[in-house]
Structure 1
Amino acid sequence: MTMDKMIIERDVPIVMEDGLVLKADVFRPKDETPSPVIMTLGVYGKGVPYRDAFAPQWDVLMATKPEVLQDSTKKLMVWELVDPEIWVAWGYVCVRVDSRGSGRSPGKLDIFSKREAKDYYNAIEWAAAQPWSSGKVGLNGISYYAITQWLVASLQPPHLAAMIPWEGASDAYRDMMRHGGIQNDGFFKWWYPKQVIAVQHGNPRGWQDPWLGERSSGPASLSEIELERNRTDPVSDILSRPLDDEWYRERSADYSKVTVPFLSAANWGGFGIHPRGNFEAFTQAASKQKWLDCHPGRHEEWFYLDHGMALQKRFLDHFLKGIDNGWDKEPPVLLHLRRPFSNEFEQRKETSWPLQNTKWKKLYLDCVDGFAVPGMSWDPPCKWSKMSFAALGRPLTFLSPPLEKDIEVTGPVAAKLFGSSTTTDMDLFLTLQAFHNDREIVFEGAADANTPLSQGWLRASHRKLDPSKTLPYRPYHSHDEIQPLQPGKVYELDVEIWPTNILLPKGSQIALQVSGKDFERMMPPREAGNPWEMRNPTICTHSHLQDRPKDTFGGESTIFTGGETPSFLLLPFIEN
């Protein structure tokens, strides 16, 4: 649908109960037939063009997926949102709302806050009452626009009829802010200035809105001091809150109150921000009508590819338009299975998560005294052994024997490690890898081109488990008290490793890397002439010196295996 075939209203005011006015852009069918609404609310600026502000991602998408959105000129697209040209042609109204304090909406910017969720509630109810609305509102967006869906759904707006949170966190502490208790400062110190403050309301350097002919950050020009006063500081907020308190709970879904029908779309390779929240919400939310999609690929591309578009349309057509298209009979879990060194992804539908035909298998770690490379075995080693490593130095990598047959690994992963430290704490960074013919099996993930199979984290002083929520395959840490280590004492440590999928051919080897710092691999030099270097391939890093002081987290760590310390990796093998 071309722009002359739709009605476009920009900077439409939505008045909040406290008098503040949010600004929205509305795209609707020209025949003015009351239609269901697809709404988003977030901080990236409703008037910031995708192709300008996110040019690298746009260029890659257009170059690698030239077939994407062929029925659209793509001139109305912004980052992580639906394309109005497509959806208005399908009979929907698209509403984009700038969050309080962002873009064209004034106020204090406070990401994922209770105030932001309440504003979203108000905007949903406002849209439902408009003459161009059928009264049914659906939500559909990626990342930030997925996270806010879980938060507003917890408030149960009466006219919220369905939602598609695509690659979004639902537990602020565990999914994105503190992995296993360790601060994820790398993401927030990069993302917040680049993608949020850049579009803060009143920022005089905000992107130009080409559709309004004005700044996307509003007409006001605030000073640096005024801008800073008008926003919170998530890096400092997270640093000052090592335990899971009310501040994190306010920014997390209340699964018991998420009752709306939803399609939770998870990226297999979104470690650090996505996809844990999509899996947890699917298994924990009270909704009686819920589905889980598991896909590979870069962060945003599957949202716009034909498969993703058809999936979204069919789901929303059913719940927002009442179309009997068989969606209600669709199995609740849709998988896209990954094979090594292939860009073809087999689809399979399942009835539950974890999968019903899961056989949980333990790979026991074995330090193998006298060998440089520790191993793993299917039987617990009788002999007790140990191996130490510098927490900030080279990691240990435990390698399994070659597989005797083809194996599918699909589901949550966990590890039980027996470990000690020469200091009063230690951070564990676990990376699940696989190799075939000495070549690592990697996939293009949400944010990097060489994503390992999975990752997990745990701060040893946060080892306390919540027995009411812990499952054998998904340990759940309470994060409600700090229990320092006694140097040299051995502790039992259960580590959650995020869900994964891989179809491993015979002869492959499974590996578990155990480190005291972020995962790194040899990467090509950034500039010609420079040597290859070790780099973390993701933006979710954990290196804040106040959160990880070297005198505490830079000691020597020891892993114990066999005998009375049977450290193991728990894997979900699928029997067909």
Structure 2
Amino acid sequence: MAVERDNMLIDWDVGITMDDGVVVRADVFRPVAEGKSPVLLTYGPYAKGLSFQKGYPSAWQNMIASHPDVAFGSTNKYQNWEVVDPEKWVPLGYVCVRVDSRGTGRSPGYVDHFSPRETRDFYQCIEWAGVQPWSNGNVGLNGISYYAINQWHVASLQPPHLKAMCIWEGAADWYRDMTHHGGILSTFWANWCDMQVKTVQYGLGERGPRSVVTGALVCGDETLSDAALARNRASFGDEIVAHPLDDDYHKARSPDWSKVTVPFLSAANWGGQGLHPRGNFEGFVRAASTQKWLECHGLEHWTHFYTDYGRELQRRFFDFHLKGEANGWDDQPKVQLQVRHVDKFVERHEADWPLPSTRWTRFHLDPRNQSLSLQPPPEGSEISFSADGDGLTFMSQPFSEETEITGPLAANLRISSSTEDADLFLVFRVFTADLREIIFLGAIDPHTPVAQGWLRASHRKLDEKLSRPYRPYHSHDEVQPLQPGIPVDLAVELWPTSIVVPKGYRIALSVRGKDYMWQASTGAKLSNFKNELLGCGPFLHDDPRDRPRRLFAGTTTLHLDREGCCNILLPVVQSR
């Protein structure tokens, strides 16, 4: 039975029965006035009964302190992590549906993130919402991160009632975007599961939190033992470790771009290196949809989803596609960028991605003084570094004029190793004239560099069909060991970025053997992550099972020659 609160009708804990009999639970927020409305739906693991303020206090306080428009106009009682505030959408004529994914919150079952089973559940929730008496049959998906990632996956199944998606910072490729950067294992997901999913698993019952709105147990009315809880979830980190190549496990958790045909708005974050930008750009370029738009912004990855800037953009998109309003969205340029400067963002519209005005420019690594130059070095040489150390940094001369670099980047390196493998961590950086590094408030870490890229040398094999000079695409389907001391050529993808480099500033490329670290200690932490934020956020590559010292603690040598085999390709954008 619906209750009327805060100018909404609310149905708590509505059961949706899956095809195998499991009943997942949803909260439904809808207009008081009778009639049929479009639906905004999310399906995910963060527990619909856990308030944003209680579950993620540091993120909430930081956001509303800097962006008071987020909290304005709402009681904020119904705020949840990374999903829409119904108090700002229901008055606009939308129904907001929040579903606890199988095994989390108040939905029983076995937890297996991004699995085909979970994607089928999501499909069935969309189709359920499309035929309810309060629905006009048009279902849209809108949410951040997890609630965005799984949109790509369910769109591949083409649910008939799915009419539009807003994928806000949603990675897509389970292997390349999320679990193995350049073939190197990311420890993020194992830690994430500990901090953000086990804490809200169904069956915690009385050991879990209660909803501050309803008083109901957030994690179900059953209270299970630790052993029973463990039996009801996949051993997530161990499963990822067990699949070091892009095999069927990863492909089943990644989209089929040829089947993503629904209209969508893909919103990326320049500062999301390690998770949040790549899939949004890949989706825009590769999805089969004929109606697709790209947006990219900065700041923390949850902030602009809730600000007036982001919410109004989402509203225009959904009003057009779910309500059929003639609001001019069909004239919206395909690409909207918040172009990043060292001290601000400037909005600009573009026709496509990569940007049509891009002037692809190679900067060569010169060993004589570890510089970046537009000309190859006059003679060949070699330069080595410890394969598990801070590596080498190659820096340009001060720029003679302001220069914009916006787009994907790629490095070409010739290397050898004293062992049969080597991991390369590439960092694209900007420095002031007096050699102070410029860092940025990133999606999660407040000390992020301009761009990053990764590659395990034994994963250097390219997919020739999908590779582009500016975005190499690695197959990750076999291991090709190095012969110690024998050089090989590597093409390394660095994730898309944007920076307007001021006159007098310098750019730099660091070639490292381990994760970037801005400084040894920052004191910066968030309540939902284990590690201190030192530059890479929680997206680290430090699992010794994946990086045994016998392979990755040797010596790496760069081989540079007058043909310019070692270089970085930059997307320099012509000034307007």
Provide the secondary structure at the position in 2 that maps to 1:209.
coil
Q: One-letter code of the match for 1:336?
A: Q
The yes-or-no answer on 1:517 pairing with 2:514 is: yes
Q: CA deviation at 1:44?
A: 0.3
Q: CA deviation at 1:525?
A: 5.5
Q: One-letter code of the match for 1:429?
A: F
Q: CA deviation at 1:298?
A: 0.7
2:38 is aligned to: 36
Q: In structure 1, what is the Cα distance between the partners aligned to 2:438 and 2:113?
A: 36
2:569 is aligned to: 570
Q: One-letter code of the match for 2:357?
A: N
Q: In structure 1, what is the Cα distance between the partners aligned to 2:18 and 2:558?
A: 55
Cα distance change, pair 63–69 in 1 and its aligned pair in 2 (3 A): closer
Give the conservation status (yes or no) of the 8 Å contact 1:179–1:457: yes
Give the conservation status (yes or no) of the 8 Å contact 1:37–1:136: yes
2:390 is aligned to: 394
The yes-or-no answer on 1:90 pairing with 2:106 is: no
Q: One-letter code of the match for 1:433?
A: R
Cα distance change, pair 326–60 in 1 and its aligned pair in 2 (3 A): same
Cα distance change, pair 264–134 in 1 and its aligned pair in 2 (3 A): same
5 Å-filtered alignment, 1:135-154, equals 135-154=137-156
5 Å-filtered alignment, 1:488-499, equals 488-499=485-496
Cα distance change, pair 535–347 in 1 and its aligned pair in 2 (3 A): closer
Give the conservation status (yes or no) of the 8 Å contact 1:261–1:290: yes
Q: In structure 1, what is the Cα distance between the partners aligned to 2:561 and 2:5?
A: 67
Q: CA deviation at 1:339?
A: 1.1
Greater mean alpha carbon deviation, residues 229-238 or residues 472-481:
229-238
5 Å-filtered alignment, 1:328-347, equals 328-340=330-342, 342=343, 344-347=344-347
Provide the secondary structure at the position in 2 that maps to 1:307.
helix
Cα deviation per residue 1:101-151 (whole Å; 9 max; x = unaligned)? 111111100000111111111011101110000110000000000011111
Q: One-letter code of the match for 1:399?
A: M
2:429 is aligned to: 433
Q: CA deviation at 1:235?
A: 1.1
Cα deviation per residue 1:183-239 (whole Å; 9 max; x = unaligned)? 001x12321111011111102432222233222110111111111111112211111
1:530 is aligned to: none
Q: One-letter code of the match for 2:500?
A: L
Give the conservation status (yes or no) of the 8 Å contact 2:142–2:167: yes
Greater mean alpha carbon deviation, residues 200-209 or residues 463-472:
200-209
1:164 is aligned to: 166
Give the conservation status (yes or no) of the 8 Å contact 2:390–2:514: no
Q: Which runs of 5+ in 1 are unaligned?
A: 528-532
Cα distance change, pair 430–321 in 1 and its aligned pair in 2 (3 A): same
2:201 is aligned to: 200
1:360 is aligned to: 360
Provide the secondary structure at the position in 2 that maps to 1:447.
coil
Give the conservation status (yes or no) of the 8 Å contact 1:14–1:123: yes
2:259 is aligned to: 257
Q: CA deviation at 1:524?
A: 4.3
The yes-or-no answer on 1:541 pairing with 2:543 is: no
Q: Which runs of 5+ in 2 are unaligned?
A: 525-531
Provide the secondary structure at the position in 1 that maps to 2:485.
coil
Give the conservation status (yes or no) of the 8 Å contact 2:9–2:32: yes
Cα deviation per residue 1:18-76 (whole Å; 9 max; x = unaligned)? 11101000000011321000000000001100000100101111211123241111110
1:381 is aligned to: 377
Q: CA deviation at 1:382?
A: 2.5
Q: CA deviation at 1:338?
A: 1.2
Give the conservation status (yes or no) of the 8 Å contact 1:413–1:499: yes
Q: One-letter code of the match for 2:389?
A: G
Normalised TM-score (structure 1): 0.96
2:528 is aligned to: none
The yes-or-no answer on 1:410 pairing with 2:406 is: yes
Say how many residue pairs are matched: 563
Give the conservation status (yes or no) of the 8 Å contact 1:522–1:534: no
Q: CA deviation at 1:404?
A: 1.7
Provide the secondary structure at the position in 2 that maps to 1:283.
helix
The yes-or-no answer on 1:508 pairing with 2:492 is: no
Match of 1:481 among 478, 482, 490: 478
Give the conservation status (yes or no) of the 8 Å contact 2:448–2:535: no
Provide the secondary structure at the position in 2 that maps to 1:135.
strand
Normalised TM-score (structure 2): 0.96
Greater mean alpha carbon deviation, residues 518-527 or residues 76-85:
518-527
The yes-or-no answer on 1:321 pairing with 2:317 is: no
Cα distance change, pair 442–525 in 1 and its aligned pair in 2 (3 A): closer
Provide the secondary structure at the position in 1 that maps to 2:178.
helix
RMSD: 1.4
Q: In structure 2, what is the Cα distance between the partners aligned to 1:178 and 1:537?
A: 15
